[in-house]
Amino acid sequence: MSVQHYELSHLDSLEAESIHIMREVAAEFERPVLLFSGGKDSIVMLALAEKAFWPARIPFPVMHIDTGHNFGEVINFRDRRVNELGVELVVASVQESIDTGRVRERPGQSRNPLQTVTLPRRHREVPVRRRLRRRASRRREGQGQGTGVLVPRRVRSVGPQEPAS
């Protein structure tokens, strides 16, 4: 009897690892959110979240930091996808941060750096929810702590991983 060898492609392996990370974040953090800008990286992250929890709904909100300089098509796409998925949308406004004096806009410069004040303030307002599960292996000191904010990042090219021994 021969043993069959099953191997994932590099892309399938990255997808599986991403899905695993999303499930772990949902399980371990009290206020997880998925940041969504409407760019290609955010769209991929939203698709991965959908895949990770299908057929259930994504168990954490999608958060958009509105700089006030978004294309209408981006906002329409965001709203349509959030409605299709039945996921909660949390919007933080850079303009509100400017209006209340928490940040100061510099004429002629991007508002993107102003998000660093707006994001944590709005994230603190996301309701604490019960964790999906607790794992003893994650309860060791220093693990399972952090913000629970899933940030889309460009994937850097990496080679196949060596099997664990």
Over its length of 165 residues, how does the chain's per-residue pLDDT go in tens digits? 778 878 889 999 999 999 999 999 998 888 899 999 989 999 999 999 999 999 999 999 999 999 888 899 999 999 999 999 999 999 998 889 889 988 888 888 888 888 888 888 888 888 777 655 544 444 444 444 455 565 555 444 444 444 444
Per domain, the residue ranges of the chain are: 11-132+139-150
Query: Beta strand pairing status for 89-93 and 33-35?
Result: unpaired
DSSP states of 76-125 as a string? Answer: HHHHHHHHHHT--EEEEEHHHHHHTTSS-PPTTS-SGGGHHHHHHHHHHH
Q: Does domain 11-132+139-150 have CATH number 3.40.50.1220?
A: no
Alpha-carbon distances, residue 159 vs 64, 94, 148, 149 (angstroms): 32, 39, 27, 27
Residue 5, helix vs strand vs coil: coil
Dihedral pair phi/psi, residue 66, rounded to 5°: -85, 110
Of 92, 87, 43, residue with least CA distance to 64:
92
**3-state SS class at 152:** coil
- How far is residue 117's CA from residue 121's CA, in Å, rounded to a whole number? 7
pTM comes to 0.71
